[in-house]
Homo-oligomer: A and B are copies of this chain.
Amino acid sequence: MAASRPARKGVAIDATSADTKTRILDAAESLFMEHGFEATSLRSLTTAAGVNLAAVNYHFGTKEVLFQAVLTRRLDPMNQERIKLLKGVEREAQGRALSCEKVLFAMLIPALKIARDEKRGGKNFLRLLGRAYADPAPFIRHFLSGQYAEMIGLYKEAFLKALPHLSRQELTWRLHFVMGALSYTLAGTDAVKLFAQMTAVEKYDDELLLQRLAPFLVAGLKAPALADSRKLELVSGD
């Protein structure tokens, strides 16, 4: 069991090791995104980062902790900004009902800002995040739940007020769909060509992407609730 984050005597913070740690985090962000968690070996990772193999265990303890650190570095500020933005919009409305668009945009804007800012991970990080959403590993799922709990709670309340025709249960499902479309879309790389010719026609552009996604999601959220008595007849015969 190595000391997982040894602190210097009394110095600022990690003058020399900061470089090593950052190099590891950067390489990890890129490789985890490209190959996933299991398929990325610490040997290829440390080679790409230009550090010694043992550096990961020295600075982070285990590979799993490293993965969480990669996510935390970007995700925590992003979710904090989402919360701040939502509170700003709510203050601005002064009790009046918020529009669904306003709430949704408060959620999307921090993601968009990250996509634009290479220094904060850029598209790479968002794609990694999209992958993480769908990863079956329990430690990833637990971690994400924790990271999102506060933000999701606040947004659920806000959407509930903006979409009074939806029950709490209906809204929960719709937010699930929203996160699905968002994460799947963010996870897409140029290699994803299930729907061909797209990448040929227009360059992959995360800003344009979110601008196309937003109207789709707003319309979906605003759709009338499914009345329990009049269920959709999906299957005629069996």
Let me know if B193 and A185 touch, CB within 8 A: no
Is A112 close to B, CB under 8 A?
yes
| CB closest residue in chain B, given A167 | B201
List residues of chain B with CB within 8 A of the CB of A149: 196
> CA–CA, A137 to B238, complex, Å?
36
Is A13 close to B, CB under 8 A?
no
Size class of the contact patch on chain A: 35 or more
Let me know if A195 and B156 touch, CB within 8 A: yes
Partner of A38, one of B38, B144, B181: B38
List residues of chain B with CB within 8 A of the CB of A223: 215-216, 218-220
Q: Please encode chain A, from 158 to 195, with 1 for each CB lying within 8 Å of some chain B CB and 0 for all others.
A: 00000000000110111111111111110110011111
Partner of A130, one of B116, B134, B211: B134
List residues of chain B with CB within 8 A of the CB of A210: 234
